[in-house]
Amino acid sequence: MDPLWYKDAVIYQLHVRSFFDANHDGYGDFAGLKEKLPYLEALGVNTLWLMPFFQSPLRDDGYDISNYYQILPVHGSLEDFKAFLDEAHARGIRVLIELVLNHTSIDHPWFQEARKPGSPMRDWYVWSDTPERYKGVRVIFQDFEPSNWTWDPVAQAYYWHRFYHHQPDLNWDNPEVERAIHEVMFFWGDLGVDGFRLDAVPYLYEREGTSCENLPETIAAVKRLRKALEERYGPGKILLAEANMWPEETLPYFGEGDGVHMAYNFPLMPRIFMALRREDRGPIEAMLKETEGIPEAAQWALFLRNHDELTLEKVTEEEREFLWEVYAPDPQYRINLGIRRRLMPLLGGDRRRYELLHALLFTLKGTPIIYYGDEIGMGDNPFLGDRNGVRTPMQWSSDRNAGFSRAPHHRLFLPPISEGPYSYHFVNVEAQQENPHSLLNFVRRFLALRNRHAQTFGRGSLALLPVENRRILAYVREYQGERILVVANLSRYTQAFDLPLEAHRGLVPVELFSQNPFPPVEGPYRLTLGPHGFAFFALTPEEPLRVQTPDWKEEAVPESVPEVPLKEGPEILFVETLAEEGSRKAFLDALTQSLRGRSWLALKPERAELLDALRLQKDPPLYLTLLRLEGQGVQDVFLPIRFQPTMVQAPGLFARTWPKEGYLYELSQDAGFYSLLLERLARGFEGRSLKAYYRGHHPGPVPKGLDLLHPGLAAGEGVWLQSGLVQDGGLERTLEVLPQLPFPWILSPKGRLLWERGGQRRVLALTGSLPPGQPREAFALAQAMAAEGLSRLQGHPLPVESRGLLAEALRELEALARLLGVRLALLHQALAEAEGEEGGQPLLGRGLGAFLEVAGEVYLLALGSRGRGHPLEDLARLAYDLERAVALAWEGSEETPWELRSEVGEFLEEALLSAWQSAAQAPPPEKEAWTAAMLRWSEAQLLREDHPARQRIHERWRRKAQET
């Protein structure tokens, strides 16, 4: 266990009685909390803080404990708690509980015994014959208590209490009291809880002439508590101090690393709200500087409200009056020295301010705490009295009692919010699960982002940037080389500003949510943020690698290759009348062996036959060959082969020759060949082999060079060229049929290279024009979109419960899937008209490889050969490619579980099928037929390349086939 785990934690605070009622008695319980652990895991929290669940008369929501060792019966039994704790730990969720060490309930047996005259436990509490002791000590709950002393008629004395009169303070000057509290801690620690929140810790000791707060004796007692905890359990369990004090008063609780592990940053919290309202970062900056200097192993806990209120104790009187006026002008929302409101109503329902505050909560230095229900924007009910208005049942659905309990409404411990804009009919988990733009999914996405960079945000340094515009708060978090820039606009208006990033010159800001790179830092960095906007950037040494490569790899130059006997020139390998059979056989065997490893071929050749060859270039010799490959099927391919007298570092080397020294390269991956062929076609191409004529032309422009998009497909400025490497005979159909289809997103061929012999004709290559822009093969486009979308899903536990969350993260890729589904339906209809119903339906031979993306539009430029099968096969081909694009986008990434990639694949499959079904006005494919088609494609593709991604996809569809 990492002993500093609490620095990387995200804490979720909840009342057990408010969360979920499993036994339908009107009170939440541990069985219900256990049932909702998947929700909490999916939210992205990894630590739970449970408010008091011990035996109590509930005069103060459980902080008035009458038995430290018993669970309040409405919450369940100790066995229920253990079952919940085991399940939480199994899900990687830690649990913190309350250690209420300052006071008990008046109903506690300790106090009842201490009241009796002459009792040996009298000294367990603080008594006095007069209320004049400790004069001048402030009364914390001024709205409810006139004094810190209350007369007890049984004891015939006054007892001391810093909070309610029904909560007498324990006497920590009595060593027996301290030992008893240690035993309580050990009892729950032995059960497996991961830490303790020390409630009201500043008030343990009393001394005349002092404020009775933060006394040296209290600090020493906290250190003894820490020592006892670690002596019994070693490192790993933590203490979190609730010390609502000024910074200089809280810092001693950390000690020199021998005090509490964490403490609440009470002074910072109200100043976040002050800065937001004043639209000036000053209050935040000032308090960040005041709270620096804690021990390295210590940590602040950050929150947006104390669990009961926006507490205003640690502000000046003027600041308190200001905050009351702007956030609680109605006095009924004021309580003690705070504001009893939930977060969303406190912000007037302003979504932008809500998101901005969470941006600060999750990125400032410290461990964030979320109060239950704030992730969906729950409201409050001030008419419930005290602070019960912010403790209402969790709103799970619009069903009865907000889905919290099936008990009769009158038996609920508190009524859910049922009226107004925060009514559970409108604000609930169920309604927000599927809405990608809901508050719930916003928090999920944000926590996933934070969890991906947990150590940087939890442990990293924080450097404030002196931006001239005071409405902008900007800082850099840095840890072990990772630097993250956070920029927040505190204003309700759009702001332009310059960030002083000279110290980070040369780095590239990469926006974390989208993974989009921004221009490199060269000096003051100009940005603009909308009202209450924010942005996070990873400052990286260079633009990260964008996953743009399609489903093929440039071949590395092999260390050794087969040897082909060659006494004279390479023509003896290609020209029929000059051929030497031994040399040609060795040449074809070497070529076959090399092509067997090419994943872009539709089969694994066992042998190759040279059907024809034509020399395109004399020096170095370059031949256009027409080959017949035989394996599990037969495929004719058009392949350029070059003889190189000296070895060059280039892909495609497959043999060396001897005694005439030289090297043979197949040029499927050589962009220079495609440029050369285009130039020759533009000049008008005519050639003659012993067997056939070669004729071709290209009527369009000839750019300086072409980029290879895929073996057999290259493109340049305004031009594309494809050759017959992977078309399975589809070039003939492309040339004949594509110009007949009446769609603006079709790239009809303009030029061609033909092989002709008598009445026979083969299309060896096609050319056409492109609109302006950088072309990209659709498979590469899908990979890039998948990489971007999966990066947004990092940190989300499996399964991704909300399809809305998937839709938001993968919006671009889902849109591509739907676009392809619609266009596939339209193409099938158009082909039926152009070719006739019989045999006219099949479309795609190479799936996504048949499409190009240019300037945001997706174009079709190739058809498959006839006789390929039913439209279902085309849908399966596209679905397979989309799923594999997801797999390849994060190939080798340990951060992305295979289950998540499969889940994304199913999501895209549904998008493709539903779009096709709607456009084709056809019933959905039958499940059995669809599964069989996907299994056939996965088997066929596995034969092309024995790759882990292909294996996993095939295994998934094999299991599905067995299930159906």
Strands (E), 318-366: 334-335, 338-339
pLDDT at position 545: 43
Q: What secondary structure does DSSP assign to 256-270, as a single string?
A: TTTS-SEEE-TTHHH
CB 19 within 8 A of CB 377: no
SS3 369: strand
CB 301 within 8 A of CB 11: yes
* Helices 351-363 & 268-278 angle (0-180, nearest 10): 140
CB 654 within 8 A of CB 561: yes
SS3 311: strand
Catalytic residue list contains 242: yes
Q: What is the 3-state secondary structure (H, E, C) of 520-547?
A: CCCCCEEEEECCCCEEEEEEECCCCCCC
Q: What is the pLDDT of residues 198-252, one digit of tens each?
A: 999 999 999 999 999 999 999 999 999 999 999 999 999 999 999 888 889 999 9
Cis preceding-peptide flag for 799 (omega within 30 of 0): yes
CB 914 within 8 A of CB 821: yes
Compute the Cα dihedral for 668, 673, 674, 680 and give only its sign: negative
CB 441 within 8 A of CB 251: no
- Residue among 439, 316, 447, 456 at smallest CA distance from 379: 439
Beta pairing, strands 461-464 & 338-339: unpaired
Rounded-to-integer distance, Cα 568 and Cα 914, Å: 62
Neighbours of 584 (CB within 10 A): 17
Q: What secondary structure does DSSP assign to 407-472, as a single string?
A: S-GGGSSSPPP-SSTT-TTTS-HHHHHS-TTSHHHHHHHHHHHHHHTHHHHHHSEEEE---SSTTE
Rounded-to-integer distance, Cα 13 and Cα 2, Å: 22
- Residue among 245, 206, 190 at smallest CA distance from 103: 206
Instruction: Encode burial over 31-44: b for 16+ CB neighbours within 10 A, e otherwise.
Output: bbbbebbebbbbbb
Report, in this order, helix, strand and coil percent for the chain, each rounded to 5: 35, 20, 40
**Which DSSP category does 645 fall into?**
S
- For the range 267-272, what are the long-range contacts, defined as Cβ-Cβ under 8 Å and sequence gap of 24 or more? 267/291, 267/314, 268/300, 268/302, 268/364, 269/302, 269/303, 269/304, 269/305, 269/306, 269/310, 269/311, 270/310, 270/311, 270/312, 270/314, 270/315, 270/319, 270/323, 271/315, 272/304, 272/357, 272/360
pLDDT at position 557: 61
CB 641 within 8 A of CB 647: no
- Residue among 12, 14, 16, 40 at smallest CA distance from 28: 16
Beta pairing, strands 633-644 & 622-631: antiparallel
Rounded-to-integer distance, Cα 601 and Cα 649, Å: 23
Encoded amino acid at 747, one letter: L
Rounded-to-integer distance, Cα 585 and Cα 565, Å: 10
As averages over each run of 10 residues, the pLDDT of the chain (964 residues) reads 94 97 96 97 95 95 95 97 98 97 97 94 96 92 89 96 96 98 98 97 95 96 97 97 89 95 92 92 94 93 81 78 82 77 91 97 97 95 83 96 96 94 96 90 91 94 97 97 97 97 95 89 96 96 54 65 93 91 95 88 89 95 95 90 92 93 94 96 96 96 91 93 74 90 94 94 95 92 87 67 76 95 92 73 77 94 74 91 87 62 86 95 91 91 82 89 86
From 206, 242, 881, 909, active-site residue = 242
From 64, 199, 206, 873, active-site residue = 199
Instruction: Encode burial over 785-816: b for 16+ CB neighbours within 10 A, e otherwise.
Output: bbbbbbbbbbbbbeebbbebbbbbbbeebbeb
Q: What is the pLDDT of residues 585-632, one digit of tens each?
A: 999 999 999 998 887 787 889 999 999 999 999 999 999 999 999 998
**Which DSSP category does 351 fall into?**
H
pLDDT at position 795: 64
pLDDT at position 547: 41
Strands (E), 46-144: 47-50, 54-55, 67-71, 94-100, 127-128
pLDDT at position 727: 45
Tokens 């599964």 found at: 931
pTM to 2 decimals? 0.79
Q: What is the pLDDT of residues 646-665, one digit of tens each?
A: 998 888 999 999 999 999 99
In DSSP terms, which residues pair with 633 in a beta bridge?
Answer: 631
**Which DSSP category does 168 fall into?**
P
Strands (E), 320-416: 334-335, 338-339, 367-371
* Helices 175-191 & 78-90 angle (0-180, nearest 10): 60
